[in-house]
Every structure is written in C-alpha cells, then in structure tokens.
Amino acid sequence: MNGVSEHKGVWVFSEAYDLTLEMLGKGRELANTLHTELSTVLLGNNVQEKAGELIRYGADKVYVVDNPALGHFQAEPYLSVLHDLTERYRPEILLVGSTRNGKPLAARLAERLNTGCVPDCIRLSVDEGGRLIGERITYGGNAVAKIASKSKPQIATVPSRAFEKPSPKERTGQTVKLDVKIEPPKVEIVERKPLETSSVRVEEAEVIVSCGRGLEKKDDIALLEGLAEVLGGQVGCSRPLVEDRKWFSEWIGLSGHKVKPKLYIASGVSGVIQHVAGIRDSKVIVAINKDPEAPIFEIADYGVVGNLYEVLPALKEALKKLLQ
Amino acid sequence: MKRIIVCLKQAVDVSQLKVDPATRQLITAGAPRKISDFDKNALEEAVKIKEKLGGIEIFTLTVSTEDAKAVLREALAMGADKAYLVNDHALQGVDTSGTAYILAQAVKKIGEFDLILGGEASLDGFSGLVGSRLSELLLLPQITSVRKLSVEGEAVIAERALEDASETVKTKMPALVTVTREINQPRIPSLMMIMKASKKEIVTWTLADLNVQKEKITPKIEVIEALAPKMERKKIIIKGETVQEIAEKLARALIQEGIVGR
C-alpha cells in the first residue's frame, strides 16, 4: 500500500437491506463532513432495480454486482467481491452491518486488507484529523470505548437500529454495474429455516415490558403481555429467564438484543450491568422491584419499590382508565 | 479425527470490575481473571466430541501473561490434554489482529489438527474478531454463531443462529468454528479431574519461538479512551398509600413524557 492519502470516499454495505438504509443515513453525514462521496455496494441476484432507492436514501454511487452466486449470503462469495471492490476503489471508510453474518465478513475483509476493524459501533464521528472514531460498549457494559483505526480503509461495523433510517429524497446518483470474479463458498448451507416472525423483532418495539428473575412462573408472562397490549408494546426478558429457566428463547442485554424503545419497563429485573448495557439508550426506563437496593433503580427514570404482581396489573388498569 | 485446538482467552471477569467514580476509568489492574465464558463453551464442546468419538487429543492455546497458567490448569481439569501458552513481554498492547497472527503461528507450529474451536467473542473485549481473522490467516472454512455441533466422518455439521433464521451448514475439516453460549453448559471439574490435570503439560512459547516479528503485531487500532458511561436518569421513586395510587401516578408521568397514548 502506498500511504493512506489515496483512499477516498465513504462506503456502506450490509446484506440486510434495512440496515443498509440506516447506515446510508450515518454514512451521508460522515461523507458530508469529509467532503467526499457516499457509495454503497449492492450484491445479489436480480437486485439491480433497488439501486434507485439506495440513491434516494443518500448514496451518490451504487456498485452493483448482480450474480446468481450472490443470491443469498455466503461468506466467501460476498467476501471476495467486497475484497475486489475495496482494493479497486479504495474507500477511506467502510461501514459494514453488524449482523451475525456481517460481523465475521467485516473481520475477514479487514484481515485480507491488512487493516483494523472496530466492531459494533453505537456512535460514529470524524475527528479534526479526518479519522473515523467509533464508540462501542466494552467490558461487559462497564465502559464505552472510543476507538480509531490506524490504517485504511477504516472499517467499522454497525448494529441494526444504532442509527435512524433517513427520509428518502429525489436526488441523482450513479449506478456502476460490475463483473467480479467470485470465490466459491467453503461452507455448504444444508438447510435454512426462517424464524417464526409472528411478533415484531424486539429491536423494533416502541415499548418493551420486560421481566427478570422476579417473575415466579412461566404462566405469569401473561401479566406482562397484558400491560404490553395496553401500551402497544412487546414483552422481553433478561438472560436468566432464557439460560436458566428456558421460558424465552432470546434475551435483552449486551450479549442478546440491544434495544432503545421509547419506554422500557423492567419488572423484577435486578439490573446487572450486562442487561443495562442492552437498554441504555431507551428514552424512559421504569423499574419495578421489591428490593429498594436493586441496581436497576440507579438507571431508571421512574422507580416503584413493590411487588410486580401487584404493580403490573394496577399500572395496566390505571393506563386503561387514563388513555380512554 | 485426531486433534482439536481450542483457543482460550484469559479475560477480565467483568462482573467484578470496579470503576473509579471520579475519573470514570475502569480499574483493570488486579481485577480477577478467568477463562472467557464463550471459550469455556468451546472447550466443553471439544470434550463432548472427544467423549463421543474417542481417540482425540484436545490442545488449548492461549496468548496471555504468565499468570494464565492458573486458568489453563482449569482447562486441563475440564478435559484438555495439553495447554499451550504464548507469553512474551512484547505482547503488551497487542490488538485482535496481532493476537490472531500469533495464534496462527502457534497453530502452524503445533502442526496437524482437524478443528479449531473458540468462543464467538470474549467476555471483556467482546469484539468477536479473532476467530474470523484466524480463519483467513490459516485459509480455513469458518462457521460462526454455532449453537449445535456434530462431527460426521470428515465433515463438521453445525446449526447457526442468525437474526431471522436458523441455518444448518456443513464443511470439510480442517475448519474453524466459533460457538455461542447456548451450545452447552460447561462442566465443573471434579477433584479427581483437578488432580489429574496437575500432571498434564503446559508448554510455554515466546514470540521468538513462533518466529513472530514485531512489525507483524503492530496494532491496527488505537483505543483513545474507555470510560464508564454516564447515565443521566431522573431516578424518581414513585410513592403512595396504595398500589393503585402509585400506579396512577406512574401512568400520569408516562403520559406526560409523551411516550404513551397519542
């Protein structure tokens, strides 16, 4: 590599379309600060018609590789295409969606490009020297680290819902169709079962009523559901209810779903730091706990010291009455 | 199948970390350390494969300080046959890219293997980069986010948990697999196993032993700061004579916040 000056432009990529749109919002901001172009990479089979929408969401340039081999995500095909394009066009910043597939993709790309990677950035900015600064939660939620890359491209990964999806606008941009040599996959997908999506993903919920060890029986989840229904929200839980009791399949917390609803009601949740790290960006946090010393009260806007079995039904009734 | 290498990190026990309230700096010096949880799951999975198939050696591999030998004894008690520790004063400040490079060199020196197992991410740093970087350096097929694993002949079959799907995948060994915590419940070694472990070997290597040049492990990132986050919350405790009164006050507060109702 011949120095860093020749790297130019901000790029975003995710195999998850919505996350791409969210990153285009942040990417636009970074590109404006750096007075440079924002580009995105569109990979897939018969995906070209989406390019126009990506431009409306903020891209100046859309690199399209349309190929049956890219029909669904597979590590080596996607990695080889991104590697080829980033070597060819040399962006200074590359944001990659931090999904279960995207995160290893970014890490492997960083290794191939002999550069750094800052994973799971919840905030991104550019400093006076033009360096990308990523902020991420670390040490189990005990700290937020500010990290810069020392080489280019500066790669960062971005979790879903970290940034707002921008509003689309009528604007012009360029679509660049490319043919690229695609590496065959090393891992074969034998079966793919979509998860049942009867409910919305918890990240999308505006209100979350969650429970922790304070909930005594599995049937009592109905109490939370009752309140969630009045609030138009969803039910969630902390990790012990998944790991120890197996009442839920997914939890909210640093190692699970990180959420930022308008309202988070934590009932019978003690507030260990790993859980708090997953709810930190909620607008309003309500804590209901029998133990007045529970750490959850330290991070709550409103606290009720009391039995969740009494407070949740009473809150539901009060809201029903007031919201009529 | 003959050999599994499990990569372990000696991580800061984040549940026991203290923060200096004045500076918001973490007090990591002297903080208790342990085998990173996810890596323990990886080791447990290796031991389960060994119990099922027999005739397999499990080596653990760690890049850490001298005091990691204590946690490596625990790994040996859980069922590993031999532990490798890469320890060198030049390791200070090494990032995930350097760690992956050192691990790759160590794996090459160990020689033959069928499977490399590790945790999805470490308990403290939680970057989840090392496994991916290592798979690139060793040109191995990689399977991440694994919550179920089996070995069938030359192939490894894994169930992956994705955001919107669960995927069953297959690849030919040698391969690199990183696991999530749902995959198993790591065993607690018995006294007998602990005693047996004291006779097992811990091999220590320096960077020179692995032919690692300093410029190969120059950090690619710079941590500018790592501070305890500020939490600015109202911390209003709602009180009242009856639970109904409390509930009504809370409901009114939430409506006033403009977050419920229209």
Query: Hey, are the CB atoms on A142 and B238 less than 8 Å from each other?
Result: no
- What is the ipTM score, two decimals? 0.92
Residues 6+ apart with CB under 8 A from B74: B35, B189, B197
Return the minimum-mean-pLDDT range out of A159-163, A204-208, B189-193, B231-235.
Answer: B231-235
Of B22, B233, B84, B116, give the one whose Cα is nearest residue A284: B233
* Residue B199 and residue B258 in one domain: no
Q: Same structural domain for residues B76 and B182? A: yes
pLDDT of residue A274: 87
In A246-275, the residues whose Cβ lies within 8 Å of chain B are 254-255, 262-263, 272-274
Q: What's the whole-number mean pLDDT along residues B251-257?
A: 92
Using pLDDT thresholds of 50, 70 and 90, give the confidence band for residue A324.
Answer: confident
pLDDT at A2: 42
In this structure, the answer to whether residues A27 and A159 fall within a common structural domain is yes
**Least confident span in A153-162, A186-195, A197-206, B177-186:** A197-206
- Return d(Cα A294, Cα A288) in angstroms, integer: 10
Domain assignment of residue A2, yes or no: no
Contacts of A318 in chain B (CB under 8 A): 244, 247-248, 250-251
Structure confidence by residue, pLDDT tens digits, B139-176 = 999 999 999 999 999 999 999 989 889 999 999 999 99
Tell me which residue range forms the domain holding B178.
3-217
pLDDT tens per residue, range A264-283: 999 999 999 889 989 988 99
Regarding whether B210 and B91 lie in a shared domain, the answer is yes
Q: Kindly report the pTM of this predicted structure.
A: 0.87
**Are residues B106 and B78 both part of a single domain?**
yes
Does any domain span residue B258?
yes
Residue predicted with more confidence, B196 or B164:
B196
Q: A323, B224: Cβ pair inside 8 Å?
A: no
Are B211 and B237 in a shared domain? no
Tens of pLDDT along B133-148? Answer: 999 999 999 999 999 9
Confidence of residue A141 (pLDDT cuts 50, 70, 90): confident
Domain count, chain B: 2
- pLDDT surpasses 90 at A305: yes
> Is residue A323 pLDDT above 90, yes or no?
no
Residues A212 and A133 in one domain: no
Pair (A233, A172) in one structural domain: no
Q: What pLDDT does residue A199 have?
A: 52
Are A39 and A170 found together in one domain? yes
DSSP B186: P
Of A177, A211, A230, the residue at which a domain comes to its end is A177
* A122 and A217 housed in the same domain: no
Residue B65: give its domain's CATH number: 3.40.50.620
Number of domains in chain A: 2
When pLDDT is cut at 50, 70 and 90, the band that residue A197 belongs to is: low
DSSP β-ladder status, A188-194 and A207-211: unpaired
**Pairs from A305-311 (Cβ < 8 Å, separation ≥ 24):** A305/B237, A306/B243, A306/B246, A308/A211, A308/A214, A308/A215, A308/A223, A308/A267, A308/A268, A309/A220, A309/A223, A310/B243, A311/A267, A311/B243, A311/B246, A311/B247
In a domain, A192, yes or no: no
Q: Which domain holds residue A207?
A: 202-323
Domain CATH for A209: 3.40.50.1220
Q: Give the mean pLDDT of chain A.
A: 93
Instruction: Identify the band that residue A244 occupies on the pLDDT scale cut at 50, 70 and 90.
Output: confident
Is A110 close to B97, i.e. CB distance below 8 A?
Answer: yes
| In-domain check, residue A189 | no
Residue B45 within any structural domain of the chain: yes
B141 and B249 in a common domain: no
Among the ranges given (A291-305, B94-108, B222-236), the one the predictor scored with the smallest mean pLDDT: B222-236
Do B136 and B257 have their domain in common? no
| Res A3 pLDDT > 50 | no
**Residue B258 and residue B177 in one domain:** no
The confidence band for A140, taking pLDDT boundaries of 50, 70 and 90, is: confident
Residues B18 and B67 both lie in one domain: yes
Chain B residues touching residue A159 (CB < 8 angstroms): none
Contact B226 A192 (CB under 8 A): no
Residues 189-248 of B with CB under 8 A from A: 219-229, 231, 233-238, 243-244, 246-248
Q: Using an 8 Å Cβ cutoff, are A212 and A291 in contact?
A: no
Q: Mind spelling out the 3-state secondary structure of A237-265?
A: ECCHHHHCCCCCCCCECCCCECCCCCEEE
Any domain includes A184: no
Q: Which has more pLDDT, B230 or A68?
A: A68
Domain boundary among A110, A143, A177: A177
B156 shares its domain with B260? no
